[in-house]
């Protein structure tokens, strides 16, 4: 092996090692910071409950919203299954009963969630994409929800 | 009456088709080697398309609801300014704007570039530009014609998303497009250079202003979007790693790598094939950005009403353009003579710069498309900002240090190491300063420490360069000094901002006072009034911070058409920070306000850094050759 080949070989080995380290770093960071989305029905049928942060989307069940100070409790439904949600904080604009919503938080039991965030990026015409998909899946999609 | 309205639409469609026809003719004459005629026909075709755009603006201005795009995105109650801006606030209009910009860049180049000896080069550039133009024009006519009519004519329009009703947002998309689409000319220049075998330093000198101007526009566009998010969304931040923001960042990163490799091409006649590859990547990412925003695969604040079929079309267009560019690249690209660069030379540092920027691009790309890929397997996920921050941060430190050293080195030559000793001293000084800041503010954090030290190092190394070059700085270096200084200030502010800012959420009744740390907030007054097309609730808060007393007056707007609520934030700027308050619309019966208070440290520094970057880039557009 002459000098040049040696140099190339060592360069190659160093880059392979660097790639592996960086790749592992990226992979870990990505999987740690991924928030999975579930519809109430998906959660109902899942055998293993997700721990860590998840998102749940559906409609806020009519008549389920209870407010005490800045504590809220309500039910998210896809008209097949329900999840009850507890939330402490500021209620975002346009979060109302009978509207679509996505909440982020941790499950405390199979059908109740302690929410840390309510995502309300939608207006009256625009249904969050995940919610629309979830409702389509549970067969309760009404064309008027979308537009 | 109906007759004339239909005529208006038919007329506009006629002009569109005429424009396609002349664009075809231009290609035909190009193949017959009648270059002059071909260029003229392209210019004529582009004049026609500019005319149709003005026509569309007029339809929006006059609320002609028989045009579908106007009906869906406008309303008679809307202020005139926003009626006009509505032209590009929707898919059809924005696509027309996209095409207009391709045309304008092409025509401007054909007018401003007049070198008799490179006529062939010029006509090839226009040929490629013309075909990009044609592809998108056909896409426009077949899938998203802005001049589709509705019969009978509706009386009232559906309105524009009120969150878009903001002066910044009126100019944000055009700037972004001037950037994105500006890279189409870069692609045409590269392809023409490849075909004519003159992708050399002379090519780089000719192309430099065109690439830089696109880059400057893109930077302005991203900055405006960021400023808008800060003032309008009421989330208190300036960047959210939202997929649509990422979509504009990716071509920027590729474009930044491109301008650095072009420097090597310009001055050393090296990195030819790499530069052409980067140009292809840059424009492909511009197109990908358009696809991500327009196709509906993303779920974000920006995802307006979408149509998945169009997404498939755009994806096909990206595929065709990228693939054919790559084929031309492979067929015509000249092999570089093998050159060994010393590690401590400018060339190898530009290589490192490109490597880092493409790595950043890869990380952003992965975070952006990972959810899309998983959605094919029926899993819905989102990737949080922590992913980007943790991965990028350590590399940003190294990047900043390399960025401080790179410009000090020499082209091709080994630098005398003694010349760098002073920078070791400066680096130690920065570490010490960083420690002092951390100890004084009592926030012991490794990332903060490295962040402050590395960005200070960049700032100080530029200052020392200015000091050494004392009195007169050569104008040649000015753009780089300004832009790099901007990057230093930008990152320093980001690191300090993310550690010293804080947020409080609270609910408050009228006349109630809330106390946080050394700050008290009192809700003193509110009023509700109807303004133009919305209802506005104004509030008044009295803030006491130490000895200072001032008022913040955030408000919320309830728009009628469509029904939507937006928060108007109220900000009190001081030299180092912003006091920032946003409120929610209260429950109907009681006036209990949900409010969000932010203390934003050094946010001005972020804007200042961006301004310097833009200004440096802008100067560089007009930089005379070497």
**CB interface of B with A, residues 419-448, below 8 Å:** none
Instruction: Summarize the confidence of residues B306-323 as an average pLDDT.
Output: 81
Q: What ipTM is given for this predicted complex?
A: 0.73
Which band of pLDDT confidence, cut at 50, 70 and 90, is reported for residue A124?
very low
Under DSSP, the state recorded for B373 is H
Q: Which residues of chain A have a CB within 8 Å of the CB of B596?
A: 90
The two structure tokens encoding residue A16: 């392979």
Question: How far, CA to CA in Å, does B289 sit from each of B86, B138, B254, B292, B355?
Answer: 21, 20, 12, 5, 21
Closest listed residue to residue B24, CA positions, set B144, B142, B140, B131: B131
B565, A94: Cβ pair inside 8 Å?
Answer: yes
Res B2: pLDDT: 53
Q: How far is B139 from chain A (nearest CA, A)?
A: 25
Residue A3: is its pLDDT beyond 60?
yes
Model confidence over B32-50: pLDDT tens digits?
999 999 999 999 999 999 9
Residue B393 touches chain A, beta carbons under 8 Å: no
Instruction: Residue A26: list chain B partners with CB under 8 A.
Output: 363, 366, 391
Domain boundaries, chain A: 1-34, 36-146
Q: What pLDDT digit, counting tens, does each position of B124-180 carry?
A: 999 999 999 999 999 999 888 889 888 777 878 777 666 667 787 788 889 999 999
Please report, to the nearest 10 degrees, the dihedral formed by the alpha carbons of residues B345, B347, B353, B355 taken in order: -110
Distance of CA B356 to the CA centre of its chain: 20
Is B391's CB within 8 Å of A29's CB? yes
| Selected residue of A93, A101, A119 to mutate for chain B interface (largest B Cβ count, 10 A) | A93
CB contacts, 8 Å: A125 with chain B: 562
Rounded to an integer, the average pLDDT of B518-540 is 85
Q: Given an 8 Å threshold on Cβ–Cβ distance, is A124 in contact with B381?
A: no
Q: What is the distance in angstroms between the Cα of A70 and the nearest Cα belonging to chain B?
A: 7
Q: Is B563 on the interface with A (CB under 8 A)?
A: yes
For residue B247, the distance in angstroms to the closest alpha carbon of chain A comes to 18
DSSP state, residue B547: T
Average pLDDT of the residues of chain B: 87
pLDDT in tens, B553-574: 998 888 776 667 777 889 998 8
CB contact under 8 A, B384 and A36: no
Fold of the domain spanning A36-146: OB fold (Dihydrolipoamide Acetyltransferase, E2P) (2.40.50)
The more confident residue out of B280 and B244 is B280
Among B379, B506, B584, whose Cβ lies nearest the Cβ of A92? B584
Least reliable range by pLDDT among B81-90, B205-214, B355-364: B81-90
User: What percent of chain B shows pLDDT beyond 70?
Assistant: 92
Q: What is the pLDDT of residue B298?
A: 59
A119 DSSP β-pair partners: A102
- Asked if residues A106 and A54 have their Cβ atoms less than 8 Å apart, the reply is yes
């Amino acid at each position: 092996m002459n000098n040049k080949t040696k140099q190339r070989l060592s360069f190659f080995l160093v880059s392979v090692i660097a790639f592996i380290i960086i790749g592992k770093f990226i992979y870990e960071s990505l999987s740690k910071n991924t928030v999975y989305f579930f519809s109430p029905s998906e959660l109902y049928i899942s055998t293993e409950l997700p721990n860590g942060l998840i998102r749940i989307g559906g409609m806020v069940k009519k008549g389920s919203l209870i407010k005490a100070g800045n504590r809220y409790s309500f039910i998210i439904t896809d008209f097949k299954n329900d999840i009850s949600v507890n939330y402490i904080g500021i209620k975002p604009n346009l979060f109302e009963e009978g509207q679509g919503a996505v909440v982020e938080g941790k499950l405390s039991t199979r059908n109740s969630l302690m929410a840390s965030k309510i995502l309300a990026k939608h207006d009256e015409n625009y249904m969050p994409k995940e919610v629309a998909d979830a409702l389509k899946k549970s067969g309760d999609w009404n064309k008027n929800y979308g537009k | 009456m109906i007759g004339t309205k239909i005529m208006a639409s038919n007329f506009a469609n006629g002009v569109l088709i005429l424009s396609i026809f002349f664009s075809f003719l231009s290609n035909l004459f190009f193949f017959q080697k009648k270059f002059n005629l071909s260029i003229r026909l392209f210019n004529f075709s582009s004049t026609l398309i500019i005319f149709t755009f003005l026509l569309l603006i007029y339809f929006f201005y006059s609320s002609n609801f028989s045009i579908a795009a106007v009906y869906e995105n406008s309303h008679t109650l809307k202020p005139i300014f926003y009626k006009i801006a509505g032209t590009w606030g929707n898919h059809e209009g924005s696509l027309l704007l996209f095409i207009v910009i391709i045309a304008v860049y092409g025509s401007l180049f054909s007018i401003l570039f007049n070198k008799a000896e490179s006529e062939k080069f010029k006509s090839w550039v226009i040929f490629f530009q013309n075909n990009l133009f044609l592809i998108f024009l056909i896409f426009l006519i077949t899938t998203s014609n802005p001049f589709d009519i509705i019969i009978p004519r509706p009386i009232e329009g559906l309105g524009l998303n009120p969150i878009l009703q903001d002066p910044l947002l009126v100019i944000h998309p055009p700037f972004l497009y001037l950037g994105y689409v500006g890279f189409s000319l870069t692609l045409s220049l590269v392809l023409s250079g490849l075909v004519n075998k003159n992708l050399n330093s002379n090519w780089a000198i000719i192309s430099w202003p065109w690439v830089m101007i696109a880059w400057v526009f893109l930077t302005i566009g991203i900055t405006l979007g960021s400023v808008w998010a800060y003032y309008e969304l009421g989330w208190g931040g300036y960047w959210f790693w939202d997929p649509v923001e990422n979509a504009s960042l990716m071509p920027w990163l590729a474009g930044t790598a491109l301008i650095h490799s072009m420097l090597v091409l310009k001055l050393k006649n090296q990195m030819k094939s790499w530069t052409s590859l980067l140009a292809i990547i840059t424009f492909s990412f511009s197109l990908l950005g358009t696809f991500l925003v327009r196709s509906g695969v993303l779920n974000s604040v920006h995802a307006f009403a979408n149509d998945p079929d169009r997404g498939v079309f755009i994806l096909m267009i990206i595929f065709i353009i990228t693939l054919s560019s790559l084929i031309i690249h492979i067929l015509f690209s000249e092999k570089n003579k093998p050159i060994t660069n010393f590690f401590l030379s400018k060339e190898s540092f530009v290589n490192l710069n490109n490597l880092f920027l493409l790595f950043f691009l890869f990380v952003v790309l992965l975070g952006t498309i990972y959810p899309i890929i998983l959605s094919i397997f029926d899993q819905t996920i989102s990737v949080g900002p922590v992913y980007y921050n943790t991965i990028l941060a350590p590399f940003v430190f190294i990047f900043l240090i390399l960025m401080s050293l790179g410009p000090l080195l020499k082209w091709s030559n080994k630098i005398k190491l003694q010349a760098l000793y002073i920078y070791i001293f400066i680096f130690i000084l920065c570490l010490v300063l960083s420690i002092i800041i951390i100890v004084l503010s009592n926030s012991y954090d490794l990332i903060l420490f490295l962040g402050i030290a590395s960005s200070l190092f960049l700032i100080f190394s530029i200052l020392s360069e200015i000091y050494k070059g004392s009195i007169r700085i050569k104008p040649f270096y000015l753009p780089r000094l300004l832009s790099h200084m901007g990057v230093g200030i930008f990152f320093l502010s980001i690191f300090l901002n993310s550690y010293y800012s804080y947020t409080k959420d609270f609910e408050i009744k009228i006349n109630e006072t809330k106390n946080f740390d050394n700050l008290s907030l009192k809700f003193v007054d509110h009023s509700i009034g109807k303004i133009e097309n919305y209802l506005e609730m104004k509030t008044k808060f009295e803030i006491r911070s130490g000895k200072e007393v001032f008022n913040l007056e955030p408000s919320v707007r309830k728009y009628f058409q469509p029904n939507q609520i937006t928060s108007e934030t109220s900000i009190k700027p001081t030299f180092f920070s912003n006091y920032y308050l946003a409120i929610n619309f209260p429950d109907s019966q009681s006036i209990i306000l949900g409010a969000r208070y932010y203390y934003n440290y050094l946010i001005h520094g972020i804007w200042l850094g961006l301004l310097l970057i833009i200004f440096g880039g802008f100067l560089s557009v007009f930089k005379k050759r070497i």
